Structure 1
Amino acid sequence: MNKENLRIVFMGTPDFAVESLRVLVENKYNVVGVITMPDKPSGRGHKIQYSAVKEYALKQNLPILQPEKLKDESFLTELKAWKADLQIVVAFRMLPEVVWDMPPMGTFNLHASLLPQYRGAAPINWAIMNGDAETGATTFFLTHEIDTGKIIQQEKLPIGPDDNVGKIHDELMVMGAQLVKKTVDLLLDDKIDAIPQDQFVKNENDLKPAPKIFKDTCRIDWTQSVERIYNHIRGLSPYPVAWTELYSPDKEPVTVKIYSATIDKTKTLLPIGTITTDNKTFLSVSCTDGTIHITQLQLPGKKAMNIEDLLRGYKFAEQSIMK
């Protein structure tokens, strides 16, 4: 079978998935249909918003299905009618067996980590938040347990000490798209030698999870080391963003978001959370074993600003703290 005859159904939703779909379409692979999340209202006007994958699929005139439930008979009937040989999943949702087991060549997924590390919804964030020096992308066959199927291909990507999740997301998006293409080519050439994930695991306790990130996950704990706080900030920037509460004398506490910072590991005698600033050029917060120098901050109701620009219009009161 060649790539023009191989019938591919692609499943995905956000920007991260678009790059893989684009690489397949532009390299003339036979994508017979796209499955993405249902449209949803967004923003203040509750305008209906299409997923990034739907927007691209519409421009390419690709057939689209947007099921609310993946076990609905009507959806399964329409999916079967596409007669897929292979299904490819990139940043979509959990599939029931009736879906992933449908095509004769199976269903493979692109995951943004070096599986079996960081199984779960937020692998890029957690790798950076944990201070890892590398991550990567993995293609693997879907099976019953989430992110546990046999590994097909894997590629590593270094994480620089100052890289944030936005940068690594974009690099993995491009790398992952090429890995998807390479995986399809290996399937076409019948050169797949998929390896069970348990061959990569010496001790289950060594595996780091990547659970979904909630608002409370993003809160900064100023009692942690400066290194952990710094990794927390860059592992959540530019989305969903680390936050903390600013306490000023005689004012109600407000929530502020921190997009970027630098660290100084020189110990300070100031209490944890103490703010130091000249109200012109710098804003620092004392920690247990050093100082976090905030370089980009967002005040309530304002846009994120570099600290010098922010300090032109906002002054921090003496004895202000973050906690």
Structure 2
Amino acid sequence: MGTPSFAVPALQALHAEYGVSCVVTVPDKPSGRGLRLTQSAIKEKSTHLGIHTILQPEKLTDPAFIEQLQSIHPDIICVIAFRILPARVYSTARLGAFNVHASLLPKYRGAAPINHAIINGEKETGVTSFLLNDVVDTGSILHQIRYPVPPGCTAGELYDALQPLAAQCAVETTGLLLAGTAKPRVQEEVLASPAHKVFRETSQISWERPTQTVSNFIHGLSPVPCAWTLWNNQILKIFRVTPAQAPCRHGEWTIQNRELFIGCSDGAVRIDEVQLPGKKRMNTANMLLGYRGASSGICTTKVNT
């Protein structure tokens, strides 16, 4: 059961290793200017793999859907990046139902574990499989795979890096359940931390923070929802930065040799990748080509009218 591209490698791996008899994903949704119905990444891949039973319930509590699922008699249910399953759904699995989560649980329970791992400067993260229960991301742990976070890694890059690990984790967890050798261990609540969903409204950069904190914040929100600041009285999305030294206090910006620097509490960052309203994402040097404005200023907190 899943929806986005993150779950696709796991679907491929599980189907190749064990055979997937049924896929559950979201209904097709209107998208684009023509509002054409668009399939989820999981449905597209399932069709390509020749998986014929694809269920797309509007509600997971729909009795007709639950009856269909029960008629399949699933041995195992694997969930990746999907909705919260009611007990009537996950209890249909004979050997167990598990979720693969993109963190080392109990750290970063919630919708945005990858973002928060980067924002908090974690040196290591990974993926965890756990048995489903009635409380989100709290079930007993079945398997974990660790991954060292490269310096300067963005959330988007970590998302891509964890996909094959999630697939590996799904296959290995399925093997444990089939063999009857899984050893579930209860999560330690004292180590638990939340990973709430991130929004554009809370993604404005606070330049009075230390350089590393600012860098982590920017990279943890890249590419979406994307950290932003007000530069030259317009919203500047910032995707990537490099810690640097520049003669500017926190919130001040300066342009030197076609490079843009913005000050933090203990130094500065060089702004490497940006996007202005109505423009494409680009490196800062390209943005500054033909720029004839001021060479320094202050990142305001509100648009001046």
Same fold (TM over 0.5): yes
Name the SS for the 1:41 alignment partner.
Answer: strand
Q: 1-side partners of 2:280 and 2:220: how far apart?
A: 20
Deviations 1:185-204 (A, max 9, x none): 11111111110113xx4xx3
1:239 — aligned with what? Answer: 224
Q: 2-side partners of 1:169 and 1:47: how far apart?
A: 28
1:225 — aligned with what? Answer: 210
Q: TM-score, normalised by structure 1?
A: 0.88
1:4 — aligned with what? Answer: none
1:216 — aligned with what? Answer: 201
- 1:236-315 paired onto structure 2 within 5 Å: 236-246=221-231, 248=232, 253-264=233-244, 266=245, 268=247, 270-278=248-256, 281-315=258-292
1:163 matched to 2:143: no
1:6 — aligned with what? Answer: none
8 Å Cα contact 2:204/2:229 also seen in 1: yes
Structure 1 unmatched ranges of 5 or more: 1-10
How far apart are residue 302 of structure 1 and its match? 0.5
How far apart are residue 294 of structure 1 and its match? 0.1
1:98 matched to 2:83: no
1:113 to 85, 90, 103: 103
1:75 — aligned with what? Answer: 65
Name the SS for the 1:262 alignment partner.
Answer: strand
2:121 — aligned with what? Answer: 131
Identity across the alignment (%): 42
Query: Comparing 144-153 with 235-244, which one deviates more in the overlay?
Result: 235-244
The size of the alignment, in residue pairs, is 299
Name the SS for the 2:156 alignment partner.
Answer: helix
Q: 2-side partners of 1:215 and 1:237: how far apart?
A: 11
8 Å Cα contact 2:200/2:226 also seen in 1: no
* Partner AA of 1:39 in structure 2: D
8 Å Cα contact 2:96/2:177 also seen in 1: no
1:86 — aligned with what? Answer: 76
Q: TM-score, normalised by structure 2?
A: 0.93
Q: 2-side partners of 1:230 and 1:195: how far apart?
A: 35
8 Å Cα contact 1:241/1:259 also seen in 2: yes
8 Å Cα contact 1:132/1:159 also seen in 2: yes
How far apart are residue 241 of structure 1 and its match? 1.4
8 Å Cα contact 2:103/2:126 also seen in 1: yes
2:303 — aligned with what? Answer: none
How far apart are residue 322 of structure 1 and its match? 1.8
How far apart are residue 47 of structure 1 and its match? 2.7
Moved beyond 3 Å, runs of 4+: 313-316
How far apart are residue 46 of structure 1 and its match? 2.5
Name the SS for the 2:21 alignment partner.
Answer: strand
How far apart are residue 48 of structure 1 and its match? 2.1
8 Å Cα contact 1:261/1:293 also seen in 2: yes
**What's the Cα RMSD here?**
1.6
Name the SS for the 1:297 alignment partner.
Answer: strand
Name the SS for the 2:12 alignment partner.
Answer: helix
Name the SS for the 2:95 alignment partner.
Answer: coil
Deviations 1:125-165 (A, max 9, x none): 10010001000110000001100001000111001221111
How far apart are residue 267 of structure 1 and its match? 7.8
8 Å Cα contact 1:277/1:316 also seen in 2: no
How far apart are residue 317 of structure 1 and its match? 2.5
8 Å Cα contact 2:261/2:271 also seen in 1: yes
1:16 matched to 2:1: no
